[in-house]
Amino acid sequence: MRALADLTAIRDSATFSRQLDALRDQEFASAEARLAFQMSEVRRLLTHCGAHVPYYRRLFDRHGIDPQSIRTPDDFRRVPLLDKDTIKAHHADFIADTVDTRTLDHLTTGGSTGAPLKVMMDVEYKARRLATTYYYMGLAGLNPEEFRSVRLHGNTLDAALVGASTFWTLETPAKLVMSSYHITAVTAPRYVEQINQHRPDYIHAFPSSLALLAEYAEKLPLTVTARPRAVFCDSEVLYPWQRRLIERVFAAKVYDVYGHTEGAVLGVSCPASEKLHLVPQVGYAEILDDRDRPIAAPAQAGWIVVTGFLNYAFPIVRYRTFDQGIVSREGCPCGRQALLLDRIEGRLQDFVVDRAGGLVPLAPALFDYNFDWSGVDRFQVYQETPGRLTFRVVPEAAAAQTFDALGRRIASGFERILNGGFEIETVRLEAIEPTARGKRRYLDQKIDLAAFAPRRGGA
């Protein structure tokens, strides 16, 4: 109950109200006004960093950077890029000397690339971050205080509940929290029954977890009578096939929410389209090519670099997310002048390394090609050596006796699809477990991909 009380205090704070008002009031500002606002916020943040954050104070001195001279994006690109390893190596020096470190809390990134990061937070940042949640839910006409919900987002339930094969609990009368770890063909009917009984107005989920449940609902089949007004998917790349599947089964619009534990960027789709709107009041985003230059034209994949406006206790400036985004050629019918992405092409952990040491996005090969997946119940790709992939496969019951043939078809098919850049083997498994946070990863990547990603520039 203390957590709920703390959340209520944050929601009732003046900082929360100001941030939410700013998000809404500037929602339809012109592109010119948006850029002017963001450059002003960049100057304000850099001035704070130069005066109060030891790492940036040294960085600006070394590179001769005067925060007040930053007037344009070209000016801003004089600031060296930042990555997770640098933050980890100088962690204490990223904390502003204006805060009492004893009052700080932290969140830890999932460490999908093998390098989790502790992000420090003060109460001001928590309030601003919470306001962004209320903002994007408001796009769907929803308020978390007033509507019923289902959360399928990696929560760990009480061991006694799980021991009794009960994989959900009511956190409040309106909020049903469900385990992401126990969705199977056997349990899926009970999951759907609970959702139907709860009648949520919205669902908040990992796309991998909800898509798995939706897949079972179609296959078994199960009748979904719940009719949520919206589904919010975040913390993973939402693939088009997942969106279509979830919308088909739950008869609700899916809102894609793109962000990070670092809190320096927020992208969200709107009622009018599936494009990701990068909310300008949350941070400044750059889309760069492999030589750290702005991409030459829309529709190209570029690396996303972000600067956050919400966290002055632990500021992040020109931070390499190692995510790739596709800048949209066209605006959105909604009229918002945010930077628009057609989609996130992939996060660094979604790449594999070929024989030549090149990064290859794996999702298009798995999900966009017309590969015949008959005979496969579940699969996961594993990599620990450049140029070699292992497909871990749980076969359907009918294919279990002919797995050798199925394995050969998978290996030869994806060697062709991936243009000979990989040697591929297959192994049979009885089950594929979710990650510690309940995500269903199609790729178990053991290589330190940061060593293969663009790393030009920097301090």
412-430 pLDDT tens trace: 999 988 878 899 999 999 9
Kindly tell me if the per-residue pLDDT of 116 is higher than 70: no
Examine the domain organization and report whether 115 and 264 are in the same domain.
yes
Examine the domain organization and report whether 263 and 214 are in the same domain.
no
The region that residue 392 occupies, defined by phi over 0 for left and psi between -120 and 50 for alpha, beta otherwise, is beta
Q: Count the neighbouring beta carbons within 10 Å of the beta carbon of residue 396.
A: 14
Question: Looking at the domain assignment, is residue 173 inside a domain?
Answer: yes
pTM: 0.81
Examine the domain organization and report whether 66 and 211 are in the same domain.
no
Q: How far is residue 70's CA from residue 3's CA, in Å, rounded to a whole number? A: 40
Kindly tell me if the per-residue pLDDT of 457 is higher than 70: no
Distance from the first to the final alpha carbon of the chain? 45
236 vs 12: which has the higher pLDDT: 12
- What is the pLDDT confidence band of residue 20, given thresholds at 50, 70 and 90? very high
Examine the domain organization and report whether 275 and 209 are in the same domain.
no
Question: Looking at the domain assignment, is residue 303 inside a domain?
Answer: yes
Examine the domain organization and report whether 105 and 30 are in the same domain.
yes
Specify the residue for token string 């206790």.
Answer: 313
Examine the domain organization and report whether 17 and 126 are in the same domain.
yes
Structural domains in the chain (count): 3
Question: Looking at the domain assignment, is residue 450 inside a domain?
Answer: no
pLDDT of residue 367: 67
pLDDT of residue 96: 98
Examine the domain organization and report whether 26 and 119 are in the same domain.
yes
Percent of the chain topping pLDDT 70: 93
Q: How far is residue 271's CA from residue 160's CA, in Å, rounded to a whole number? A: 41
CATH number, residue 432: 3.30.300.30
Examine the domain organization and report whether 156 and 113 are in the same domain.
no
Kindly tell me if the per-residue pLDDT of 84 is higher than 70: yes
- Rounded average pLDDT over 29-47: 96
Question: Looking at the domain assignment, is residue 234 inside a domain?
Answer: no
Residue 35, domain extent: 2-141+256-348
Question: Looking at the domain assignment, is residue 22 inside a domain?
Answer: yes
Specify the residue for token string 């005066």.
Answer: 51
Q: Look at residues 281, 278, 268, 202 and name the one whose alpha carbon lies nearest to residue 234.
A: 268
Q: Final residue of a domain: which of 228, 248, 265?
A: 228
Q: Which of 65-74, 92-101, 232-241, 435-444 has the least mean pLDDT?
A: 435-444
- What is the pLDDT confidence band of residue 108, given thresholds at 50, 70 and 90? confident
CATH number, residue 67: 3.40.50.12780
pLDDT of residue 114: 44
- What is the pLDDT confidence band of residue 297, given thresholds at 50, 70 and 90? confident
Kindly tell me if the per-residue pLDDT of 257 is higher than 80: yes
Percent of the chain topping pLDDT 90: 63
Q: Final residue of a domain: which of 290, 325, 348?
A: 348
Kindly tell me if the per-residue pLDDT of 456 is higher than 60: no
pLDDT of residue 440: 74
Q: Which of 92-96, 327-331, 436-440 has the least mean pLDDT?
A: 436-440
Q: What is the per-residue pLDDT across 240-256, written as a single tens digit (0 to 9) for each?
A: 888 999 999 999 999 99
pLDDT of residue 5: 60
Examine the domain organization and report whether 7 and 134 are in the same domain.
yes
Examine the domain organization and report whether 44 and 167 are in the same domain.
no
Question: Looking at the domain assignment, is residue 262 inside a domain?
Answer: yes
Examine the domain organization and report whether 86 and 11 are in the same domain.
yes
Q: Which of 65-79, 124-138, 261-275, 418-432 has the least mean pLDDT?
A: 418-432
CA angle 199, 200, 206 (to 5 degrees): 130
Q: Which sign does the torsion angle of CA 116, 113, 291, 38 carry?
A: negative
Structure tokens at 28: 């339809």
Question: Looking at the domain assignment, is residue 183 inside a domain?
Answer: yes
Kindly tell me if the per-residue pLDDT of 363 is higher than 80: no
Question: Looking at the domain assignment, is residue 358 inside a domain?
Answer: no
pLDDT of residue 365: 76
Examine the domain organization and report whether 219 and 118 are in the same domain.
no
